Amino acid sequence: MFKLHTPGNKNLLSYLIISFLILILIYNNNLAKKTYKILSIDYNDRINNIYGFCRKESVGYLKYIKKKYNIKDNLKIINYHVHAPAAWSINNPQNKTIDNKFILLNYPEIFDIKFSNDNKGSWHRNQNIQYSKGINYIYFNLNKNNIKINGSVEIIKKSLNKEKIIHSFKINQIVINKQKIYESYLSNDLNSRWDPVYLRVKLTDKRNFKYINSISINLKNKFDINKFKIIDKFESCYYVSK
Amino acid sequence: MYQNEILLITCEVIFILLMSSVPVNLLSKSKYIVSNNLSLIDRLLINFIILSNILLLSSIFNIQTLFILLGYVILIFYIYIIKGSSIKKKNEINFSHLIIFFIIVLISIDLSYELFFGWDVKWHLYFKAFHFQQNQSFANYVNLPINDYPHFGGLLWSFFWKYPFNNYEYLGRISYVVIYIFSIFSITEILKIDFLKSTILSILLILITYEYDLLSGELDILVFSYLLIATKFINYFFEKKYKKNNNLLFFIILMIANILCWTKNEGLFFIIFLFISLILTNILEKKQIFFLIIGLFIIILFRYVSMEAIGIKHDPVHYDFDRTLNFNFNDFLYRTKLIFFYLLIYLIQNILYLIVLPILGYLIFKENKDKRVKLMTLFLIMHFIFIYFVYFFKALDIEIQIRNSMKGFLFCTLGFYIYALIIYMDKKITLINKN
């Protein structure tokens, strides 16, 4: 059907250059190794390797739950780590969503957020906050047993280059390393993916800053696992019902 | 059940190429389109553009994709089997073209290994592909997340996901690879050099531009590719051999505009900029300008009416005008500073932009009588004004928005700026040939 024109000697140099460039393409993208992996690792295992079984988006766990419990309708998925929604892996927008059952991914047993000093007057969090409904207590991670803290802590949310103090409280006491200082605060304002949330700490004795490694806030969890019936659990991933 | 995925990938590539080989028969010399010596890649691209438009229309009018497939199978069977003997003498595929096939397979292997989706893909684009893969109607499109977003990317993905194997989702994304590779090979054909030399340039461009992120299901690669193809076909207007009153060329460009209009909202703006630039270069006759404007108007109106018909309205949440317009003069400076800072950063980060923008600058100063340079200059001005306004009026934190999207945003139009490199090389080659 096809007449194939084979290469002649006069184009040898061009062919050599093309071959060399294709080899670079193969080398740059690790294509030899990837070919081997595609041949030796099943598609579903590759998906688990990429999205994690019970980490990151936990697509492996979601698929496992759907298959094990033969779930036809859509499940609500709550992931405590900030990732794009993983609903694509099990849900179909044309189906209805089950109201009384849902999946919790990367559920934190201890819901702590750590803030570190940027040495410019602000303390920045180590992760984004989601699904909190307020504060239980705070504690200072010190590099000595105790210090006297006299000052205030402001929790600030920055949006469109504008700062807003969402909560502030005063401390005037001797604080032991990791001592819980209860500060009851109920609000969803701490939750933020896009707008930065940070602390501004003011101390009367600024020398004390050097003794504070970080400040941690223990958050109230919007979804308390103890209030649900656990249908399935794997590490920090839960399938629960109300 | 164990399946040899490399074999599946190879078969999928062959299937896509076969679907792109009709209705403008790749084996016959075309005597009726644009130029007498239309290349193999041009013909494949025209076919792909036609297929893309057929898929778009069929999705909107709820025609089952199976009928489209059957139509193509009959056409392929008729052309290659029944008419095969009469066109046997014209069946000339250069050995060198197998290089393109080989590169498509290689990139597809990378795709099948990496697999991960971009953020927007997980959020809503995957659902669009899944929707059409499940034979859902356009009317049900309202149930999808971000349903006011155009659906062509998902549609193309779903078609080649479903056919021929209806297996792994990534097989559908191989169509993105095909259009990307073809668009690059196509633009280098503008140079009057033999195929092997243009292949070297094409592979170099692929080496510079390719990274897996482009194939993560995001639509930037489609805008990049179709804009590059539009540029290639617009280049025919500047060629000496160009036949005046060639309405088919306009038709091809309008079909590309239609695809871009249904791929990404930005795509529509880019094609409008390209059309305005083309009109302002004064190479078109009044009748042709009229044809172009009316065509574009119909395309935009068709999209608006189709979406209205199924009850889709643009979600005002995306615009959030209260937050967007609520800023003082300090904000103006803050936003402007951020936009220019990150624009510079992302332009520097992209090696190809680092090459093509200085070349374009050189062409603007040294070759400003060339109408192709005028076309590029006009596009450049509109494009950068557009970038500024798009980010200036973002409702959410502007810095996060820029960091999340500017890289992809700039990549979309990179294809067009490659044209500057091609013009420059074309001039140098002409000069060498004269001497």
Task: Kindly report the nearest CA distance between residue A97 and chain B, in angstroms.
Answer: 12
Q: Which of A43, A160, A194 sits opposite B168 (nearest CB)?
A: A43
More confident residue, A209 or B258: B258
Q: Tell me if A78 is assigned to some domain.
A: yes
Strand order in the sheet with A212-221: A162-176, A146-159, A197-203, A122-125, A112-117, A212-221, A132-142, A181-186
A116 and A207 both lie in a single domain: yes
Give B-chain residues touching A159 at CB under 8 angstroms: 397
A86 touches chain B (CB under 8 A): yes
Residues B283 and B333 in one domain: no
What pLDDT is stored for residue B2 in this prediction? Answer: 56
Residue bearing the bigger pLDDT, B316 or A194: A194
B105 CA to chain A: closest CA distance, Å?
A: 11
The answer, for A26 touching chain B at a CB cutoff of 8 Å, is yes
Q: pTM here? A: 0.89
**Residue B402: pLDDT band with limits 50, 70, 90:** confident
- Average pLDDT for residues B4-32, to the nearest whole number? 80
Q: How far does the CA of residue B92 sit from the closest CA of chain A (Å)?
A: 5
Average pLDDT, integer, range A159-187:
85
Are residues B334 and B273 part of one domain? no
Q: Using the predicted structure, report yes or no on whether residue B22 has a pLDDT greater than 60.
A: yes
CB < 8 Å to B394, chain A: none
Question: What pLDDT does residue B34 have?
Answer: 47
In a shared domain, residues B308 and B333 = no
- Nearest-CA distance A42 → chain B (Å): 8
Domain boundary among B314, B340, B366: B314
A211 plus A117 within the same structural domain: yes
pLDDT of residue B318: 58
pLDDT, one tens digit per residue, over B185-219 is 999 999 988 888 899 999 999 999 999 999 999 99
Are residue B329 and residue B220 in the same domain, yes or no?
no
Do B185 and B241 sit in the same domain of this protein?
yes
- For residues B37 and B78, state if they share a domain: yes
Q: Which of A140-149, A216-225, B18-27 has the lowest mean pLDDT?
A: B18-27
Domain count, chain A: 3
What residue numbers bound the domain in which A74 lies?
Answer: 52-107+228-241
Region of poorest pLDDT, from B109-123, B148-162, B320-334, B406-420: B320-334
| Substitution target from B27, B115, B122, B214 for chain A, most A beta carbons within 10 A | B122
Mutant choice from A15, A25, A162 vs B, greatest count of B C-beta within 10 A: A25
| Proportion of chain A above pLDDT 70, given as a percent | 95
Residues B304 and B327 placed together within one structural domain of the fold? no
Number of A/B CB contacts below 8 angstroms equals 124
Kindly state whether residues B54 and B97 are assigned to the same domain: yes
pLDDT over threshold 80, residue A19: yes
Please check whether residues B234 and B272 belong to one and the same domain. Answer: yes
The predicted structure's pLDDT at residue B144: 86
Is some CB atom of chain A closer than 8 A to the CB atom of B92?
yes
Do A86 and A117 sit in the same domain of this protein?
A: no
Domain boundary among B314, B346, B380: B314
Same domain, B333 and B309: no
Number of structural domains in chain B: 2
Distance from CA of B212 to the nearest CA of A (A): 9
Task: Indicate whether A156 and A184 sit together in one domain.
Answer: yes
Three-class HEC string of chain B: CCCCHHHHHHHHHHHHHHHCCCCCCCCCCCCCCCCCCCCHHHHHHHHHHHHHHHHHHHHHCCCCHHHHHHHHHHHHHHHHHHCCCCCHHHCEEECCHHHHHHHHHHHHHHHHHHCCCCHHHHHHHHHHHHHHHCCCCHHHHHHCCCCCCCCHHHHHHHHHHHCCCCCCCHHHHHHHHHHHHHHHHHHHCCCCCCHHHHHHHHHHHHHHHCCHHHHCCCCHHHHHHHHHHHHHHHHHHHCCCCCCCCHHHHHHHHHHHHHHHCCCHHHHHHHHHHHHHHHHCCCCCHHHHHHHHHHHHHHHHHHHHHHHHCCCCCCHHHCCHHHHHCCCHHHHHHHHHHHHHHHHHHHHHCHHHHHHHHHHHHHHHHCCCCHHHHHHHHHHHHHHHHHHHHHHCCCCCHHHHHHHHHHHHHHHHHHHHHHHHHHHHHHHHHHHHHC
Structure tokens at B5: 């995925």
Q: Name the residue among B116, B130, B210 with its Cβ closest to that of A50.
A: B116
Q: Give A-chain residues touching B5 at CB under 8 angstroms.
A: 38-39, 43
Residue A6 located in a structural domain:
no
Q: Please give the mean pLDDT across all residues of chain A.
A: 88
A56 vs chain B: nearest CA distance in angstroms?
12
Q: Give yes or no for residue B397 having a pLDDT over 80.
A: no
Which residues numbered 313-332 in B keep a CB inside 8 Å of some CB on A? 323, 327, 330-331
Tell me the per-residue pLDDT of A96-116, one tens digit each, with 9 for 90 and over: 888 899 999 999 988 889 998
Is A181 within a domain?
Answer: yes
Q: Taking residues B149-163, what's their average pLDDT?
A: 93
- State yes or no: pLDDT of B263 exceeds 80: yes
Domain assignment present for residue A2? The answer is no
Please check whether residue A16 touches B, CB under 8 A: no
Looking at the fold, whether B226 and B344 belong to one and the same domain comes out as no
Of A18, A29, A34, the CB nearest to B200: A18
Nearest to A38 by CA among B10, B165, B159: B10
Same domain assignment for residues A100 and A185: no
pLDDT band, very low/low/confident/very high, at B356 (cuts 50, 70, 90):
very high
Query: Residue A18 is nearest to which of B94, B140, B196, comparing CB atoms?
Result: B196
Residues B158 and A124: beta-carbon distance below 8 Å:
no
Report the C-alpha gap between B269 and B279 in whole angstroms.
Answer: 15
A171 and A88 assigned to the same domain: no
Q: Examine residue A71 and state whether it is found in any structural domain, yes or no.
A: yes
ipTM greater than cut 0.85: yes
Amino acid identity of B45? Answer: L
**Inter-chain contact A50–B115, Cβ cutoff 8 Å?**
yes
B136 touches chain A (CB under 8 A): yes
For A14, the closest chain B residue by CA position comes to B196
- Residues of the domain holding B199: 5-314
Residues B113, A46: C-beta atoms closer than 8 Å: yes
Same domain, A236 and A156: no
Per the domain annotation, does A137 fall within a domain?
A: yes
Distance from CA of A178 to the nearest CA of B (A): 34
Q: Which residues of chain A does B109 touch, with a Cβ-Cβ cutoff of 8 Å?
A: 31, 34-35, 38
Cα–Cα–Cα angle for A83, A85, A91, nearest 5°? 150
Whether A86 and A37 map to the same domain: the answer is no
pLDDT at position B131: 92
Nearest CA in chain A to B170: A43
| Domain finish residue from B314, B339, B362 | B314
Residue B314: pLDDT band (50, 70, 90) is low
Question: Do B286 and B360 lie in a common domain?
Answer: no
A24, closest residue in chain B (CA to CA): B207
Residue A84 and residue A39 in one domain: no
Residue A83 has pLDDT above 90, yes or no: no
Residue A188's domain is classified under what CATH number?
2.60.120
**Statement to judge: residues A214 and A173 lie in one domain:** yes
Q: How far is A80 from chain B (nearest CA, A)?
A: 16
pLDDT range class, residue B59, cuts 50, 70, 90: very high
